[in-house]
């Protein structure tokens, strides 16, 4: 079900002729996402049983913000969270592996279990070349794990060890639940695939999503 609010959001991308050049097709519903996030939270709760050992979730801005917000509320043990921002200068920079940490953590990670929370693992270059994992280890984190909501293994260029994975998906460009297309669609409660509309197709039919 697409709500009226979501229809309004989806219509933002329409141009003057009433065509967005793409449409959004539901890939994972709100219910599917919530069920899976709850399972991930339960697994994390089980895997860090010693409440005396601090657990810090580190969300990668901006895409992982909504996932982290839901995940943290499914963890039944003491937990802290923080965010980092990692630069990405588009495709060219990604291929050259030039990524930097733009916003670092506010507090020390020493002797804390750290879990990096990412929206989607694609090529793997962001996590690999930001040296985020290495820098957390160098700063004496007790352990460093990776939790991704979506994994696109077909696109991987460098190996990244994933400890918690929400869904494995095909090589499709997705939006919603924090993920964007030109900064739009982050607030959708579902995850949808961006499907280009060919010139001979009828213009965007958001109503067809119901």
Residue nearest to Mg ion (CB): 63
Name which position in 41, 59, 63, 145 contacts ligand IMP (CB under 6 A).
63
How far is it, in rounded angstroms, from Cα 167 to Cα 32? 10
**What is each CA distance from 76 to 30, 45, 194, 196, in whole angstroms?**
22, 6, 35, 41
Q: Which of these ranges, 36-44, 57-65, 148-156, 195-203, lies near Mg ion under the rule CB under 5 A?
A: 57-65
Neighbouring residues of 85: CB distance < 8 A, sequence distance ≥ 6: 60, 61, 62, 101, 102, 103
193 has which bridge partners? 25, 174
Q: Give least dist CB 200 to ligand IMP, A.
A: 25
DSSP 8-state symbol, 209 = G
Encoding tokens for residue 141?
């984190």
Q: Which of these ranges, 3-11, 36-44, 46-54, 171-179, lies near ligand IMP under the rule CB under 6 A?
A: 171-179
Q: What part of residues 92-121 is at the interface with ligand IMP (CB under 6 A)?
A: 118-121
User: Is 122 an annotated catalytic residue?
Assistant: yes
Active-site residue identified among 111, 119, 122, 171: 122
Name which position in 59, 63, 124, 176 contacts Mg ion (CB under 5 A).
63
Q: What part of residues 116-145 is at the interface with Mg ion (CB under 5 A)?
A: 119
Q: Which candidate, 12, 8, 4, 20, places its Cα nearest to that of 202?
A: 20
Q: What part of residues 116-155 is at the interface with ligand IMP (CB under 6 A)?
A: 118-126
- As annotated, the active-site residues are 122
Residues of this chain that interact with ligand IMP (CB under 6 A) are 63, 118-126, 173-174, 179
């Amino acid at each position: 079900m697409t709500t009226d609010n979501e229809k309004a959001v989806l219509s933002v991308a329409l141009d003057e002729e009433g065509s967005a050049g793409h449409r959004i097709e539901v890939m994972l519903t709100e219910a599917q996402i919530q069920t899976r996030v709850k399972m991930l939270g339960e697994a994390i709760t089980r895997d860090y049983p010693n409440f005396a050992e601090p657990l810090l979730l580190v969300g990668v801005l901006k895409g992982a913000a909504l996932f982290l917000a839901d995940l943290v509320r499914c963890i039944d043990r003491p937990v802290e969270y923080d965010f980092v921002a990692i630069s990405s200068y588009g495709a060219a920079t990604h291929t050259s592996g030039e990524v930097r940490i733009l916003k670092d953590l506010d507090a020390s990670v020493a002797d804390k279990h750290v879990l990096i929370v990412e929206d989607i693992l694609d090529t793997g270059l962001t996590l690999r070349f930001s040296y985020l994992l290495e820098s957390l280890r160098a700063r004496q984190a007790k352990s460093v794990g990776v939790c991704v909501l979506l994994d696109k293994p077909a696109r991987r260029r460098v190996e990244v060890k994933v400890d918690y994975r929400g869904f494995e998906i095909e090589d499709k460009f997705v939006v919603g639940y924090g993920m964007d297309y030109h900064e739009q669609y982050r607030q959708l409660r579902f995850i949808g695939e961006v499907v280009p509309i060919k010139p001979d197709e009828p213009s965007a039919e958001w109503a067809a999503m119901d």
